[in-house]
């Protein structure tokens, strides 16, 4: 069995017939559709990125504030013990 088929075509296709397959409007339509989809996809990725950024910064802030709070509580507790000891 050959690796490919060889066929002989009687005539070269005429320019007019090839012209009938031309459809630049369709190519442009598909291009606009795909570029619109690409834009939506990029926007979605950007949105997800910003949401993730907001979420992480929020959780980081809450962690920091929690840590501050517990530190404050610790220092106030230590001050309380010290004053009690002094008394």
Binding site for another protein (CB under 8 A): 2-13, 15, 18-19, 21-24, 26-28, 30-31, 34-35
Locus of tokens 């910064």: 57
CB of 40 to another protein, least distance (A): 16
Buried-exposed string 54-85: b where 16+ CB fall within 10 A, e elsewhere: eeeeeeeeeeeeeeeeeeeeeeeeeeeeeeee
CB of 13 to another protein, least distance (A): 6
Q: Which is nearer to another protein, 12 or 87 (CB)?
A: 12
């Amino acid at each position: 069995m050959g690796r490919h088929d060889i066929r002989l075509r009687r005539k070269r296709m005429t320019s007019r017939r090839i012209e009938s397959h031309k459809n630049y409007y369709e190519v442009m339509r598909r291009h606009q559709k795909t570029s619109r989809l690409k834009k939506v996809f990029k926007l979605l990725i950007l949105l997800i990125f910003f949401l993730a950024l907001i979420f992480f910064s929020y959780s980081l802030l809450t962690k920091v504030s929690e840590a501050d709070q517990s530190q404050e509580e610790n220092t106030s507790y230590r001050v309380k013990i010290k004053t009690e000891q002094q008394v």
